[in-house]
Chains A and B, each alone.
Chain A
Amino acid sequence: NAGVTQTPKFRVLKTGQSMTLLCAQDMNHEYMYWYRQDPGMGLRLIHYSVGEGTTAKGEVPDGYNVSRLKKQNFLLGLESAAPSQTSVYFCASSPPGRRDNSPLHFGNGTRLTVT
């Protein structure tokens, strides 16, 4: 099992450029999440999804969009990148059942720099 796979692993963007981060999981998990992690800030939830075709805003959604067209994929888009979006992005998924009893499985992360 590959678990949770994120692509790309690294990316450098110029201000105003757009990109899409891909997260794929092969564990048949219902729930998927996008987090960003900045030094001293901990993990902050950007958007999440409780199932195919559904998405919801997290703690810091501004400047990002997401889509969950297939159960196994969760896409994070930056329409117009800003230096404040320089961060490490983690995707995670959790198994079906009660969400508050299910631990998260994380991808390896994407390191994004916006210049």
Chain B
Amino acid sequence: RKEVEQDPGPFNVPEGATVAFNCTYSNSASQSFFWYRQDCRKEPKLLMSVYSSGNEDGRFTAQLNRASQYISLLIRDSKLSDSATYLCVGYSSASKIIFGSGTRLSIRP
């Protein structure tokens, strides 16, 4: 089992919709998680950090569910510019940074 797993998608939703996707992790001792956004052929960029009970930043909400060992990303009122690949990142038991393979999101007009 991969240490960090994501649904690869693609998620194809209309502009203005709410979309959510999850990331599961296998190391119950993991403390820190992040969501990164990656545009086609570009470098990943930090979208949100996810600490303890999660956090919100504008249209984006990240949640951490320790009991079920997953984190989620919710995007409200989606924009065309939200189209990208979203990478879930967690820390393994060896304090190594583990990236999920990414979830592709496509927002259609």
What residues make up the interface of A, taking CB atoms closer than 8 Å to B? Answer: 33, 35, 40-45, 58-59, 88, 90, 99-101, 103-109
* Contact yes or no, A42 B31, CB < 8 A: no
Chain A's nearest CB lies how many Å from the CB of B10? 13
Residue of A nearest to B51 (CB): A101
Bitwise, B33-69 to A at CB < 8 A (1) or not (0) is 0101000011111100101000000000000000000
Q: Tell me whether chain B's interface is mostly helix, strand or loop, or mixed.
A: loop
Known: A90-B43, A100-B32, A106-B43. A45 touches B97 (CB 8 A): yes
**Pairwise interchain contact A58-B99, C-beta atoms closer than 8 A:** no
Contact B32 A101 (CB under 8 A): yes
Known A100-B91, A103-B49; contact A43-B99, beta-carbon cutoff 8 A: yes
Shortest Cβ distance from B88 into A: residue? A42
Knowing A100-B32, A100-B91, the reply to whether A41 touches B101 (Cβ < 8 A) is: yes
The A contact surface, by secondary structure, is mixed
Output the least CB separation between A6 and chain B (Å): 9
Question: Is the CB–CB distance between B44 and A43 below 8 Å?
Answer: yes
Partner of A42, one of B34, B43, B96, B102: B102
Given contacts A99-B95, A101-B31, 12 further A-B contacts (CB under 8 A): A43-B99, A45-B96, A59-B96, A90-B44, A100-B32, A101-B51, A103-B34, A103-B49, A104-B89, A104-B97, A106-B43, A106-B45
